[in-house]
């Protein structure tokens, strides 16, 4: 394209749609062509271009999620991967603990409801609703309190804790261990009646969880309640609470292999004793003259989207062996392997520069995956095709696909075992335009000293990822009311696909449909 004509690359896409619709009905005729001036004729043709691929290590991915992952899972092909997470606990604005019951004999008025200024019990509760792997596998986890280093680094300007390379062990040690707990994802000690119980609206009342008891005196009273009584400003908001009272927790697996928990939230719960009171706030008494008392366990602080939560994923060296395979490529989540794709923009420009680009189709085929084990991983359900140069900004800025530099495809596991990107023409045309604009600007600036070969070499050096895209497993989220796509995030669930391609494997083809105007 002499790229005054480059704009036609996309503008004729609508014409191609007419051709496609027309091809469904033999009686439709040459819709579109008959509308052109009689001196113009369109000749459409398809050209195949070689596409090269290779596996690359994901290493660390941006994971802004409210789900915490903890556990270890081993696979014969990829080795083990282990996950842990840290989370702060949110304090709602101007949080208030209940006041101690006091009765004024002179006025007959009462205030407060707490029976004594003390804590009955305190615990951390880890709630999860789903998991991957063996539900009966015996596991153990440890919970540590985050240390001062966490405060120092989280407040440092420019520090980003959303990447899964974060090492939570830096922010704790044995002295900050809060407790350990043995568990299985499916707790067989819970009766079916409790597990299946529902409230009056039919909602389940049982929520799978792991409980870590904490000391009610040193932690519940000294660390929390007394500090509130003396310094209520420490509970004014989340930042005040984190900086002055409780920095957060790091949760890691200690024992067990084969189960990954998907943690929904972590709650700090405290139990208090209260007086039952009448409508005037005066405590009631039982028939034997004793005070009428009751106990209540309340969630006082919890992990929420308003505070930092960060996951860590680490993989074994077996992952490197898969990456080095050259007769194919892989996709592996979480934070495992991406497939890098080089698209032949220069070849397309050279061969079709006088044509108008109407469509470009790219297909990735994965080999059949047998379920050889009880808990085998499946192929990622959705993948993202994204310009490599836009990789970090796309996820950090919570962008969604624009069908220019980013596209998604769903795995067709029934018919073809493929991920099909039916039309990436706008990506191709935009990237070619980008390079040609840079060339024209440089040529104008250089004048008579222009050296095409030297500029080409420098362009390649300065823009090594210009012609590369990444294939990435992702999960999508939609607005409940409009079904509009509102989020694209890395898929953090276990999955993998072995794809046709690779440096020495079968060559993938980019199928380009273009039209040439003949006068």
- Strands 406-410, 418-421: parallel, antiparallel or unpaired by DSSP? unpaired
Both 321 and 309 in a single domain?
A: no
Question: What is the SS3 assignment for 358?
Answer: strand
**The domain boundary residue, chosen from 263, 284, 313:** 313
418-455 pLDDT, tens digit per residue, is 999 999 999 999 999 999 999 999 999 999 999 999 99
Global pTM reads 0.85
Question: At residue 512, what are phi and psi to the nearest 5 degrees?
Answer: -110, 125
Domain end marker among 313, 341, 361:
313
pLDDT at 20: 43
Point out the domain boundary residue: 298, 313, 328. 313
Query: Is the CB of residue 74 less than 8 Å from the CB of residue 258?
Result: yes
Using pLDDT thresholds of 50, 70 and 90, give the confidence band for residue 482.
confident
pLDDT of residue 44: 87
CA geometry: angle at 281 spanning 275 and 287, to 5°? 55
CA distance to 4, 17, 41, per residue, from 36 (Å): 20, 16, 8
Expressed as residue numbers, the domain containing 338 is 8-60+316-427+467-518
Instruction: Evaluate whether residue 386 is within a structural domain.
Output: yes
Average pLDDT over residues 488-515: 95
Are 120 and 43 found together in one domain? no
* pLDDT confidence band for 18 (50 / 70 / 90): very low
Pair (99, 160) in one structural domain: yes
The pLDDT assigned to 43 comes to 86
Both 51 and 96 in a single domain?
no
pLDDT digits (tens, 9 = 90+) for 349-378: 999 988 899 999 999 999 987 766 677 899
Specify the number of domains making up the chain: 2
pLDDT of residue 27: 36
pLDDT exceeds cutoff 70 at 30:
no
Residue 383 confidence (pLDDT) above 90: yes
Say yes or no to pLDDT of 32 above 60: no
Asked if residue 342 and residue 321 are part of one domain, the reply reads: yes
Residues 327 and 263 in one domain: no
Structure tokens at 305: 């989207």
16: pLDDT strictly greater than 70 = no
With b meaning 16 or more CB within 10 Å and e meaning fewer, what string describes 180-214? ebebbbeeeeeeeeeeeeeeeeeeeeeebbbebeb
Judge if 241 and 150 occupy the same domain.
Answer: yes
pLDDT at 137 over 90: yes
Q: Are residues 250 and 388 in the same domain?
A: no
Residues 399 and 406 sit within 8 Å (Cβ to Cβ):
yes
Residues 272, 296: Cα–Cα separation, whole Å: 6
The mean per-residue pLDDT over the stretch 389-394 comes to 95
pLDDT attached to residue 285 = 86
In a domain, residue 499? The reply is: yes
Domain-located, residue 69: no
Stretch 196-217: mean pLDDT, rounded? 94
Q: Is the pLDDT of residue 501 over 80?
A: yes
User: What percent of the chain lies above the pLDDT cut of 70?
Assistant: 90
The string of pLDDT tens digits covering residues 43-84 is 888 999 999 999 999 988 999 888 999 999 998 889 999 999
The pLDDT value given to residue 519:
64
| Average pLDDT, integer, range 122-142 | 96
Q: Are residues 276 and 423 in the same domain?
A: no
Omega prior to 317 cis, within 30 of 0: no
Rounded to 5°, angle at Cα 485 from 484 and 487: 145
């Amino acid at each position: 394209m002499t790229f005054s004509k480059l704009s036609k690359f996309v503008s004729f896409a609508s014409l191609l749609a007419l051709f496609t619709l027309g091809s469904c009905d033999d009686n439709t005729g040459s819709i579109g062509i008959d509308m052109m001036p009689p001196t113009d004729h369109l000749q459409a043709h398809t050209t195949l271009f070689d596409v090269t691929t290779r596996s690359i290590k994901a290493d660390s991915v941006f994971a802004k999620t409210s789900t915490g992952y903890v556990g270890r899972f081993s696979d014969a092909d990829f080795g083990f991967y282990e996950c842990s997470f840290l989370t702060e606990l949110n304090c709602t604005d101007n949080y208030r603990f209940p006041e101690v019951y006091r009765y004024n004999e002179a006025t007959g008025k009462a205030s407060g409801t707490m029976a004594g200024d003390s804590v009955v019990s305190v615990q951390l509760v880890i709630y999860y609703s789903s998991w991957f792997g063996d539900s009966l596998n015996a596991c153990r986890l440890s919970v540590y309190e985050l240390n001062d280093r966490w405060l120092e680094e989280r407040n440092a300007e420019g520090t980003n804790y959303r990447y899964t390379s974060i090492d939570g062990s830096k922010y704790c040690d044995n002295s900050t261990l809060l407790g350990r707990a043995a568990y299985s994802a499916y707790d067989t000690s819970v009766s079916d009646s409790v597990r299946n119980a529902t409230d009056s609206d039919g909602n389940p009342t049982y929520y799978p969880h792991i409980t870590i008891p904490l000391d009610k005196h040193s932690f519940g009273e000294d660390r929390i309640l007394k500090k509130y009584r003396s310094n209520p400003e420490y509970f004014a908001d989340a930042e005040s609470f984190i900086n002055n009272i409780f920095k957060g927790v790091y949760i890691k697996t200690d024992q067990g292999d084969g189960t990954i928990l998907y943690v929904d939230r972590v709650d700090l719960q405290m139990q208090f004793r209260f007086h039952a009171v009448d409508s005037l706030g005066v405590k009631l008494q039982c028939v034997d003259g004793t005070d009428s008392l009751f106990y209540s366990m309340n969630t006082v602080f919890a992990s929420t989207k308003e505070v930092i939560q960060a996951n860590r994923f680490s993989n074994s060296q077996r992952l490197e062996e898969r990456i080095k395979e050259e007769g194919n490529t892989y996709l592996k989540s979480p934070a495992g392997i991406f497939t890098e794709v080089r698209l032949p923009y220069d070849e397309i420009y050279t061969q079709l520069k006088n044509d108008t680009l109407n469509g470009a189709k790219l297909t990735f085929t994965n080999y059949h995956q047998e379920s050889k084990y009880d808990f085998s991983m499946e192929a990622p359900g959705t993948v993202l095709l994204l310009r490599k140069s836009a990789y970090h900004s796309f996820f950090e800025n919570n962008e969604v696909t624009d069908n220019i530099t980013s596209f998604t495809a769903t795995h067709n596991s029934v018919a073809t075992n493929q991920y099909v990107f039916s039309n990436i023409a706008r990506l191709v045309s935009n990237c070619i335009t980008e390079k040609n604009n840079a060339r024209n600007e440089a040529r104008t600036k250089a004048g008579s000293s222009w050296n095409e070969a030297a500029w080409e070499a420098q362009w390649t050096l300065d823009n090594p990822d210009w012609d590369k895209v990444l294939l990435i497993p992702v999960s999508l989220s939609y607005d409940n009311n409009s079904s509009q796509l509102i989020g694209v995030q890395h898929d953090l669930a276990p999955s993998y696909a072995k794809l046709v391609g690779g440096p020495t494997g079968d060559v993938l083809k980019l199928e380009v449909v273009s039209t040439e105007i003949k006068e």
